[in-house]
Copies of this chain bind each other. A is one copy, B any other.
Amino acid sequence: MDTTQRTDQQRSADRRRRELLEAADRVVLRDGPQASMNAIAAEAGITKPILYRHFGDKSGLYAALAKRHTDALLDSLRAALDAPADRRERVEATLDTYLAAIEARPQVYRFLMHPTEGGHTADQGFDIGKHSMPLLRTMGEELATVIEERLDLGPGSQQLARVWGHGIVGMMHAAGDWWLGERPCSRAELVRSLADLLWGRLAAAGDKMGGPGF
């Protein structure tokens, strides 16, 4: 009953698991988020049931697969957030890091953001948004803690930081999604525009006509 000892079988299983994840990665990179379990199993050179033995469930595979990219992206974002520069530069670097990531691997990004929601089984939870888009949630919480740690927001700072964390991440996400589809401008311009928005240019802008404006 020595739980700490790693047997050969365990190590072999871990290696197998990694191989399967890499195969899944390739398929997702090729087919996008609709990658089927059949296709992944075929790419790995095996059949479905062993996939299910390793990951239990499609969402299990999804979770394991997502964790890799999510962790990598979060590390990059943390690095950008911790760079030795003033706040504006940090915000711009963070935005640029995220946008560069989704630009480099749109299929993976799409897989992480729109995980097809399971669907047919009886798990139709009414708990809205519970297991959807874990990456967005994670990034939101992460950003919230950074904001709360670093900024002096007065009373209610914790609530405020969380709202802002999720709000900013959502802004980044939606703008990135739209930008990736239409490519209306360069990445740098997008970053500047979003930073300007966060810097209150919306409130500071003048009205165009006589009325009070938007």
Footprint of B on A, CB under 8 Å?
A: 31-34, 81, 84-88, 90-91, 106-107, 109-110, 114, 116-117, 119-120, 124, 126-130, 132-133, 136-137, 140, 146-147, 149-153, 159-160, 162-164, 166-175, 177-181, 184-185, 189-190, 193-194, 196-209, 211-214
Contacts and interface: CB of A to CB of B under 8 A. Distances in A.
B152 A193 contact: no
B159 A129 contact: no
A178 B12 CA distance: 40
B208 A149 contact: yes
Contact of A184 (B84, B90, B159): B159
A199 to B, nearest CB: 4
A153 to B, nearest CB: 6
Assembly stoichiometry (copies): 2
Provide the main secondary structure of the chain A interface.
helix
A169 B174 contact: yes
Given A107-B128, A151-B202, 14 more contacts: A32-B126, A87-B213, A90-B212, A106-B128, A110-B129, A114-B117, A129-B177, A136-B174, A149-B214, A151-B213, A162-B184, A163-B179, A168-B202, A173-B174
